[in-house]
Amino acid sequence: MDRYAVLGYPIGHSKSPIIHQQFAKQTKQALSYEAIEVKPEVFSATLEDFFHAGGKGVNCTVPLKELAFEKVAQLTERAQFSGAVNTIKLMDDGTLLGDNTDGVGLLTDLCVNLGLSLEGKRLLVLGAGGAARGILGPLLGAKPSALFLANRTASKAEAMEALFASVGHITPTSYEALSDHQFDLIINATSASLNDALPAINAGLLAANGVCYDLAYSEQPTAFVRWGLDEGARLSVDGRGMLVEQAAHAFKLWRGVMPDTAQVLESLK
């Protein structure tokens, strides 16, 4: 049976194994998919062991996406552009191909599943890690009127402005400097929710009729989803829709068939 896995730290919360097992059943593919806890310092060796033992592909999650970018021999255009890899496929010639399906996953959830239009909207992204790298290009491609990027470590947000300059304008900012602004959509791409914590955002940033989206997901509403509800968001949701959509694109890369995501998303609710 072909073997796949998701690598990350922490990984206990991951729903990727359930999702890929459902995709496999639905598309009649014989494969196994497991979650493996991998700290950054052993990522390289673990990845090599996995493929030497016959593995066919992996997903990489927090905090491994930028390390995964460094490990692969080939990159898809969107992975090359973002500097982060969330999907690795073993190619027929034995080399590793890195892709990034986070951006298409998020945009599909926002614009198709949730029916939002981002054109002309004011967007704020919190966090400038591996996940943010994957979503910034596609978000700019949706033609917002503004895209602000706040990060705890200012230099990382500033680096994104230059990295994505050919696609559109990113305004890097600190959390403190946000207080004069309002946004139609606030996306939490920090990993704070994994510790039930909130980035240092102030009240009053969400415009009337605004939407909050947390890339993280959990059984109970995340700290950021709760913040959005407290701020009067018309919609404040976690990233399980993105998770299913990005997984579908990874599955397509590995197996050549696109699974039906609606069925799987429904089963996760």
Q: Which residues bind ligand NDP (CB under 6 A)?
A: 62-63, 65, 102, 105, 127-132, 151-153, 156, 189-194, 197, 199, 215-217, 239, 242-243, 246
CB of 93 to ligand NDP, least distance (A): 29
* CA pair distance 94, 92, nearest whole angstrom: 5
- The residue with tokens 């052993």 is 42
16 versus 75: smaller Cβ distance to ligand NDP: 16
Of the residues 15, 65, 89, 121, only one is catalytic, namely: 65
* CA pair distance 140, 134, nearest whole angstrom: 11
CB of 1 to ligand NDP, least distance (A): 25
The dihedral formed by the CA atoms of 238, 244, 246 and 247, expressed in degrees to the nearest 10: 140
192 versus 233: smaller Cβ distance to ligand NDP: 192
Query: Which residues 6+ apart lie within 8 Å of 231 measured at CB?
Result: 203, 204, 205, 206, 210, 212
CB of 14 to ligand NDP, least distance (A): 9
Closest by CA position to 215, among listed 117, 119, 99, 136: 136
* CA pair distance 162, 8, nearest whole angstrom: 28
53 versus 194: smaller Cβ distance to ligand NDP: 194
CB of 166 to ligand NDP, least distance (A): 22
CB of 193 to ligand NDP, least distance (A): 6
Nearest position to ligand NDP, beta carbon: 129
129 versus 210: smaller Cβ distance to ligand NDP: 129
15 catalytic? Reply is no
CB of 216 to ligand NDP, least distance (A): 3
22 versus 151: smaller Cβ distance to ligand NDP: 151
Residues known to be catalytic: 65
